[in-house]
Chain A
């Protein structure tokens, strides 16, 4: 089966600019996650969707980050305005259901560099 798709793979912007990332989960996966992975650290959950509803966004910096999954399939993550500390890899993952020990499958990530 096709994996989780993300675009773009790389993005370089200047601070205070805005940027958007796109994710297409595995077909049929109801749960979608956005993680931020700073160099040398483990992924940190930013937001979790169940279908098109938000389950957990407690670690999303809501003053500058936003995310949506309008039709319960694709998702976009936006940063506006970007700061230097937002430089990281943004990973999208999906799983079949929210519970029942379903594996989370990760996409290749988008590497963001903020200058």
Chain B
């Protein structure tokens, strides 16, 4: 089955700096890669996703890149703000987002003032 590894497990940045979280996946048939943000005690919420036919996608301060050959994808957050502090999970699935998601182990991002 699919295996998703995520690094780093914790990340501390100064407000205004950029943050990068990286994931690798094992199943070459995976074609959908969402990123979820989970604040303490709250539900995971989708912040951005990318399909395998696209190499990069941006939405304001966040962007995701995908390297299918290397089976890597990354989340980039620019101009970080305190409200970006949360746990971020990457995930992978076959057949689109309606199929089983395999999640990474999460990255605790802390944005310091």
Contact = CB atoms under 8 A, between A and B. Distances in A.
Interface residues of B, number: 27
B45 interface: yes
B43 A43 contact: no
B103 A43 contact: yes
B97 A102 contact: yes
A25 interface: no
**Best-surrounded residue of B89, B95, B99, B103 (most CB of chain A within 10 A):** B99
Interface string B19-53: 00000000000001010100000111110010100
B98 A109 contact: no
Interface string A88-114: 000100011111111111111100000
A102 B98 contact: yes
A14 interface: no
Contacts of A75: none
Instruction: Give the interface residue-count category, chain A.
Output: 20 to 34
A50 B66 CA distance: 29
Interface in A44-62: 44-45, 48, 56, 58
A31 interface: yes
Nearest to A98: B98
B91 interface: yes
B92 to A, nearest CB: 11
B103 A99 contact: no
A105 B106 CA distance: 18
3 interchain residue pairs of minimum CB distance: A42-B103, A101-B96, A98-B98
